[in-house]
Amino acid sequence: MLSRIFLRLGASCGLVGMALGVYMAASHDHVLAPVHAHVNLIGWVGMFLAGLFYAQRPDAAGGKLARAHLAFTVAGLLILAPGLAGVLLGYPFGELMAALGSILTIAAMALFVVVVFRSEANPVLPSDHRPAHHG
């Protein structure tokens, strides 16, 4: 479930990030490149990787830390991306939002570090991929 949410959000961020990339390319206005970079890298790459990790390690996906990782990641990017845009476009709210978004995003990463370190070393394989028992 957690895995599915991360995968869906990651793919969606990829679409949003690329749409911004196409817009920048078409308009020849690259001022929002860092927003595009972080929606793609924290959103598409980071969230999708987290989704793949949780799909592979269901033992890690059930706990409170993993749910907090999801919540902090989503809140972080939702605040960081417009904050960064605000900084780049010179709006007064930008810096405060970017700072808050940064703190949430790095806190999410710290939670993920704990989740990864705590997770079982051996991934749980789907039943049809388990080695057959002979005898």
Interface with ligand HEM (CB under 6 A): 18, 21-22, 24-25, 30, 33-34, 36-38, 40-42, 44-46, 102, 105-106
Q: How distant, in Å, are the alpha carbons of 6, 41, 42, 69, 87 from that of 49? A: 8, 10, 10, 13, 28
Question: Which CB, 5 or 18, lies closer to ligand HEM?
Answer: 18
Q: Give me the least distance between CB of 8 and ligand HEM, in Å please.
A: 17
Structure tokens at 86: 């605000």
Query: Cβ 45 to ligand HEM, closest distance in Å?
Result: 5
> CA–CA separation, 111 vs 105, rounded Å?
10
State the minimum distance, in angstroms, from the CB of residue 3 to ligand HEM: 20
* Smaller CB separation from ligand HEM, 33 or 125: 33
Please, which residue, 57 or 76, has the CB nearer to ligand HEM?
76
| Residue whose C-beta lies closest to ligand HEM | 21
Closest CA to 106 of 85, 134, 135, 79: 79
Beta carbon nearer to ligand HEM, 44 or 112:
44
What are the distances in angstroms from CA 17 to CA 36, 68, 77, 125? 5, 24, 12, 33
